[in-house]
A and B are shown apart, each in its own frame.
Chain A
Amino acid sequence: MKTPREVLFGRHQAIGPKLDAVRRNALATLPPQGKAAPTRSDGRRGVLTQAMLQTWRELIWPSRRVWAAMAGLWLLVLGANLEMKDAPVFAREAGGLSPPEVERALAEQQRLLTELFAPTAPPSLEAPIPRPRPRSERSATFKTA
């Protein structure tokens, strides 16, 4: 007769070597004894390394497959982007406008813009329409009179 604990442990005895490896891996991540608090000189680098390690362990490693898939996807997007970026160069080389033609077209466009924004009539020389003064100023004038 066995207790449930003995039955459970009996079922998993064979995993011992793998668990020993897991234990060794976990021990390897321990900070060296007496170096738990970083000194001021190497503090910044230590903190940075610690933060990177922590990010790796908590953010990247648990979802490594998802991150790998995302990286693959981004590489695909980057590849497609580069492919599309190259296309206009080929088109221009194949039979687009030559540089003198481009220059002429630009000069024409510049001329049109100048005409469009140039003043059509001289500015009016008439005096501006007088506007009533603020009420406060009027009362002040009255008092002084």
Chain B
Amino acid sequence: MQVVAECDSLPVRQARAGDPVAWDALFSRYQLPLYAYVFELVHDEQTSLDIVQEAFINAARHIARLREDEKFGGWLFGIAHQKCLQWWRRQTREQNVWDEVHAKPREFELGPDDLLIREEQEADFMAMLNQLPPPQRSVLLLHFVEDFSLEEIAGITATALGTVKSRLHYAKRALRQLLEERK
């Protein structure tokens, strides 16, 4: 997998030792994917930038808690995800935005790059993505942006593996349906 291959060369070990160059490389690697993920959940530029910065600072401060270096990406996204949840709860004053009926989990067929979008479909794709409930959107974004495995997504979002499968399945099915309708 592409991300795993990249993680092998990420200077997490040097970052643990406090090397600023290593941290700069890590932050540079993840700043855009992390921002894209956070922005598509909160839809506010300043909030997204704040969350990304807080995620970076927390990662630097708590790097000792990361057990396996190769899981740095998922761990960082997990920090940002928790920040997004806190923001959502402050906005909505309730938690049930992230709750949903757990449907029967099913395997999904397509990889993140198997779904191809024509230029004229981009706006529709983004509009449809924003129509998805936040839990499905979150799972789909993690799948698209970093190609995280189901287990990694379950870890990032702190949800059961079956729930992640279900969310991803329904999100992708809805997305595919929309794109086929617009063909």
Contacts and interface: CB of A to CB of B under 8 A. Distances in A.
Interface of A: 1-5, 7-13, 15-16, 18-20, 22-23, 25-27, 29-36, 54, 57, 62
11 contacts: A1-B116, A2-B122, A9-B33, A15-B45, A19-B31, A23-B24, A31-B18, A32-B18, A33-B17, A34-B18, A62-B54
A91 B40 CA distance: 63
B144 A4 contact: yes
Given A27-B27, A33-B19, A35-B18, 9 more contacts: A1-B118, A4-B115, A11-B36, A22-B49, A23-B27, A26-B57, A27-B20, A30-B23, A57-B57
B24 A2 contact: no
B35 A19 contact: yes
B4 interface: no
Interface in B48-63: 49, 52-54, 56-57, 60-61
A5 B32 CA distance: 11
Contacts, number: 95
Contacts of B115: 3-4
B28 interface: yes
B103 interface: no
A134 B112 CA distance: 94
B141 interface: yes
Interface string B105-143: 000000011011111001001100000000000000100
Nearest to A19: B31
Contacts of A18: 45, 49
Contacts of A7: 117, 122, 125-126
B141 to A, nearest CB: 7
B97 interface: no
A4 B125 contact: yes
Contacts of A1: 116-118
Contact of A2 (B27, B39, B117): B117
Interface in B40-98: 40, 45, 49, 52-54, 56-57, 60-61
